[in-house]
């Protein structure tokens, strides 16, 4: 019962973090702040993915066999208490690709700043409409 | 607009809170396809059972690290395509450098960077980061880590040097765009060779250990007293090269661009 409530609490925290970061992406005027909000959203989604693979038992183990010469006892203890390795494997690549995409966005932001002298989205829109440069 | 929260912002915030409450309801119902419980889903249990099953080696991966064996064995194609996505992101960023990647980095910049304390500290910490990243990459088949984690932590070191000293210091150390691109290509070629070597023995592509229906005997897991972990160690090393060099490319190009050295064309 208590663990069920805790699971719901973690879900609520993660979804709220994601929701607030979506607010940041939509409502912030500065492009750099938009990128920061996007990375927070990325992290929240990754954490949800890892959390789904968690195992609700007293002492869960990481998905790594403790020795490279296991006997039957170590092996059965491992398979009965290891957490799900699949979300972790998907998330480790997602993190790196998220960083690469963030680099690309930062690149675009630098180019925009070079061209317009500001990273404010509204200001850039005004400059484009006004036909300056 | 500036200062307090405007009406539209308040609307968006309340919408976000309502949406997350609805999502929590569906997650509690199992709508995310799974739910933390005492057991794990079937495919995860299959991998945990088989990744280092020394008693029945039919589907084993030869690695006690289940995450690395998923990345390079059970779901190797996913990782290959994720490497492609990374490649595309770096290429897209490089295409934005005006005048191409042959930006000139000569030019003085002797007394650049921050104070002496910051310079010394960033030099020491970047050495520690390099050692840690190599450890993550080379031991990724027996302990947490791997090519992706090692490569992206290696990229912290040049970033620290760029911030603390300058990009010219990095170039004097020997980090050049052309070298980084060459090493990246070497890593990609290595990935292709290791993953297509089993095809010569009538095996599957990205095959690691011997599998039913394949003639390939599998990469060596033990070499005398040494534990090698099949193909995972080679994959981790080459992926480390690819990821770290791609980040170095992107950092050098970004900071050259920042200095206006990106292109004189």
Nearest CA in chain A to B55: A72
pTM, rounded to two decimals? 0.85
Q: What is the pLDDT of residue B263?
A: 41
Q: How many CA atoms lie within 13 A of B52 on its CB side?
A: 29
| Residues B209 and B217 sit within 8 Å (Cβ to Cβ) | no
DSSP code, position A83: P
Integer CA distances (angstroms), B253 to B86, B127, B240, in order = 16, 22, 20
Mean pLDDT on B238-261: 81
Interchain pair A90, B78: CB under 8 A: yes
**Of B248 and B101, more confident:** B248
Q: What is the pLDDT of residues B35-62, one digit of tens each?
A: 788 888 888 899 999 988 888 888 888 8
Q: Is B43 on the interface with A (CB under 8 A)?
A: yes
Q: What is the pLDDT of residue A30?
A: 92
Mean pLDDT on B193-197: 91
| Residues B93 and B253 sit within 8 Å (Cβ to Cβ) | yes
Among A64-73, B88-97, B237-246, B254-263, the range scoring the smallest mean pLDDT is: B254-263
Mean pLDDT on B206-215: 85
Label each residue of chain B as H, E or C: CCCCCCHHHHHHHHHHHHHHHHHHHHHHCCCCCCCCECCCCHHHHHHHHHCCCCCCCCCCCCCCEHHHHHHHHHCHHHHHHHHHHHHHHHHHHHHCCCCCCCCCCCCCCCCCCCCHHHHHHHHHHHHHHHHHHHHHHHCCCCCCCCHHHHHHHHCHHHHHHHHHCCHHHHHHHCCCHHHHHHHHHHHHHHHHHHHHHHHHCCCCCCCCECCCCCCCCECCCEECCEECCCCHHHHHHHHHHHHHHHHHHHHHHHHHHHCCCCCCC
Q: What is the pLDDT of residue A132?
A: 53
| Residues B44 and B36 sit within 8 Å (Cβ to Cβ) | no
- Which H or E run contains A101? helix A85-116
Closest CA to B163 of B130, B132, B127, B126: B126
Mean pLDDT on A4-31: 88
Mean pLDDT on B135-163: 89
On the question of pLDDT at B146 being above 70, the answer is: yes
Q: What is the pLDDT of residue B264?
A: 36
Task: Compute the distance between CA of residue A5 and CA of residue A56 in angstroms, rounded to an integer.
Answer: 12
Nearest CA in chain A to B35: A52
Interchain pair A16, B93: CB under 8 A: no
DSSP-derived 3-state class of residue A50: helix
Percent residues over pLDDT 90 in chain A: 17
On the question of pLDDT at B22 being above 80, the answer is: yes
On the question of pLDDT at B3 being above 60, the answer is: no
Q: What are phi and psi of B223, to 5 degrees?
A: -125, 90
Task: Compute the distance between CA of residue B215 and CA of residue B196 in angstroms, rounded to an integer.
Answer: 14
B222: β partners: B227
Chain B residue numbers with beta carbons less than 8 Å from the beta carbon of A27 are 8-9, 12
Sequence spans of domains, chain A:
2-130
Per-residue confidence band for B4, with pLDDT thresholds at 50, 70 and 90: low
Q: What is the pLDDT of residue B166?
A: 81
Chain A residue numbers with beta carbons less than 8 Å from the beta carbon of B89 are 97, 100-101, 103-104
Percent residues over pLDDT 90 in chain B: 23
On the question of pLDDT at B15 being above 80, the answer is: yes
Chain B residue numbers with beta carbons less than 8 Å from the beta carbon of A69 are 54
Q: What is the pLDDT of residues B218-247, one digit of tens each?
A: 888 888 888 888 889 999 999 999 999 999
Q: What is the pLDDT of residue B259?
A: 59
Among B2-11, B72-81, B237-246, the range scoring the smallest mean pLDDT is: B2-11
Chain B residue numbers with beta carbons less than 8 Å from the beta carbon of A16 are 16-17, 20
For residue A4, give how far its alpha carbon lies from the nearest alpha carbon of chain B (Å).
9
Among A81-90, B101-110, B128-137, the range scoring the smallest mean pLDDT is: B101-110
Q: How many CA atoms lie within 13 A of B45 on its CB side?
A: 9
Per-residue confidence band for B262, with pLDDT thresholds at 50, 70 and 90: very low
Q: What is the pLDDT of residue A56?
A: 84
Which of A63, A86, A110 minimises the CB distance to B258? A110
Nearest CA in chain A to B152: A96
Which of A16, A63, A72 minimises the CB distance to B48? A63
Interchain pair B92, A104: CB under 8 A: yes
Interchain pair B86, A56: CB under 8 A: no
Interchain pair B86, A96: CB under 8 A: yes
Interchain pair B40, A56: CB under 8 A: no
DSSP-derived 3-state class of residue A54: coil
Q: Which pairing describes strands B226-227 and B222-223: parallel, antiparallel, or unpaired?
A: antiparallel
Which of B28, B49, B243 minimises the CB distance to A96? B243
Task: Compute the distance between CA of residue B52 and CA of residue B109 in angstroms, rounded to an integer.
Answer: 53
CATH number of the domain at A2-130, please? 1.10.287.3510
Give the number of beta-carbon pairs within 8 Å between A and B: 179
- Beta-carbon contacts of B27 under 8 Å, excluding residues fewer than 6 positions away, are A11, A15, B35
Chain B residue numbers with beta carbons less than 8 Å from the beta carbon of A110 are 254, 257-258
Closest CA to B68 of B57, B59, B79, B58: B79
């Amino acid at each position: 019962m208590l663990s069920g409530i805790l699971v719901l609490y973690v879900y609520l925290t993660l979804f709220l973090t994601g929701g607030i970061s979506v607010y940041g992406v939509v409502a912030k005027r500065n492009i750099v702040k938009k990128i920061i909000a996007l990375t927070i959203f990325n992290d929240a989604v990754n954490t949800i993915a890892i959390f789904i693979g968690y195992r609700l038992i007293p002492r869960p183990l990481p998905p790594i066999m403790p020795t490279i010469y296991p006997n039957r006892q170590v092996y059965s203890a491992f398979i009965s208490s290891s957490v799900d390795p699949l979300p972790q494997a998907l998330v480790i690549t997602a993190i790196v690709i998220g960083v690469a995409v963030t680099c690309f966005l930062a690149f675009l932001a630098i180019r925009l700043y070079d061209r317009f002298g500001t990273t404010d989205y509204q200001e850039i829109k005004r400059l484009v409409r006004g036909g300056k440069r | 607009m500036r200062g307090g929260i405007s009406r539209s912002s308040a609307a968006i915030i309340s919408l976000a809170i309502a949406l997350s409450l609805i999502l929590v309801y569906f997650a509690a119902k199992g709508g995310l396809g799974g739910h933390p419980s005492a057991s794990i889903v079937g495919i995860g249990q299959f991998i945990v059972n088989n990744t280092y099953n020394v008693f029945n080696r039919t589907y084993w991966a030869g690695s006690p690290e289940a995450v690395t064996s998923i990345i390079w064995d059970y779901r190797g194609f996913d990782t290959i395509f994720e490497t492609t996505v990374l490649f595309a992101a770096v290429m897209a960023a490089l295409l934005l450098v005006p005048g191409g990647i042959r930006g000139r980095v000569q030019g003085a910049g002797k007394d650049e960077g921050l104070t002496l304390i910051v310079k010394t500290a960033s030099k020491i910490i970047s050495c520690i980061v390099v050692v840690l990243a190599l450890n993550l990459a080379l031991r990724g088949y027996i302990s947490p880590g791997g090519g992706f984690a090692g490569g992206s932590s290696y990229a912290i070191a040049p970033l620290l040097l760029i911030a603390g000293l300058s990009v010219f210091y990095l170039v004097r150390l020997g980090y050049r765009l052309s070298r980084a691109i060459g090493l990246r290509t070497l890593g990609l070629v290595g990935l292709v060779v290791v993953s297509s070597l089993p095809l010569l023995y009538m095996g599957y592509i990205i095959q690691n250990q011997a599998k039913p229906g394949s003639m390939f005997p599998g990469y060596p897991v033990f070499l005398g007293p040494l534990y090698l972990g099949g193909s995972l160690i080679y994959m981790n090393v080459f992926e480390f090269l690819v990821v770290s060099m791609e980040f170095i490319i992107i950092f050098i190009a970004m900071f050259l661009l920042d200095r206006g050295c990106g292109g004189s064309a």
